[in-house]
Amino acid sequence: MVDVERLRRKTLFEGLTDEQLDAVGAQCQERHYGAGDVVIRAGAIGERVYVLERGRVEVRRSIREGAAERVVSVLARGRETTGVGDFFGEFCLFDLEPRSATVVASESTVLLELGRETLFDLFGRDDELRITIALNVARVLAHRLRADNRRPVA
């Protein structure tokens, strides 16, 4: 169980009522990762959304088939980062495709995890919660896309 005050500060949950945050918090699992621990592996089927509570993660991706992975984004709590938002793994809410990137903790990190099926159960009971979270995800994805479009082409 994650308390309402912790969730209230998270981008993914902006605009939710205390009652909605309480329902989400009851389903969140807090997980601890050490530096170098893999949180998500590219190619795996996504079943969880992750919210960064503390620490730093690197999003790594191969630019082309067979190439080595390189860091394409960094998410860190309380520091300037190349990532937008404080959550990742959200694509599993929209498709059943394999993960497109590997995410690795680059220091001691605490993540809040929510299972896709758990979220879908909450969505089925509360349309407003579903719409608010979907809009929050869309807003962050739009910011990430704009930031990516501003980067020089290598």
The pLDDT, as a whole number, for residue 80 is 46
Pick 62 or 154 by higher pLDDT: 62
The pLDDT, as a whole number, for residue 151 is 72
**Average pLDDT estimate for 140-145:** 86
Cα–Cα separations (whole angstroms), residue 124 to 13, 79, 118:
17, 35, 10
The pLDDT, as a whole number, for residue 154 is 59
Do 113 and 122 contact (CB within 8 A), yes or no?
no
Please give the Cα distance from 3 to 38 (Å, whole number).
26
pLDDT above 60: residue 21: yes
CATH number of 4-150: 2.60.120.10
The pLDDT, as a whole number, for residue 144 is 80
Tokens of 122: 């909450």
The full set of domain ranges for the chain reads 4-150
Please give the Cα distance from 56 to 50 (Å, whole number).
12
Instruction: pLDDT band for 70, please (50, 70, 90 cuts).
Output: confident
For 72-125, write each residue's pLDDT tens digit.
788 887 554 555 568 999 988 888 889 989 999 999 999 999 999 999 999 999
**What is the average pLDDT value for the chain, to the nearest integer?**
88
Lowest mean pLDDT among 11-20, 24-33, 72-81, 137-146: 72-81
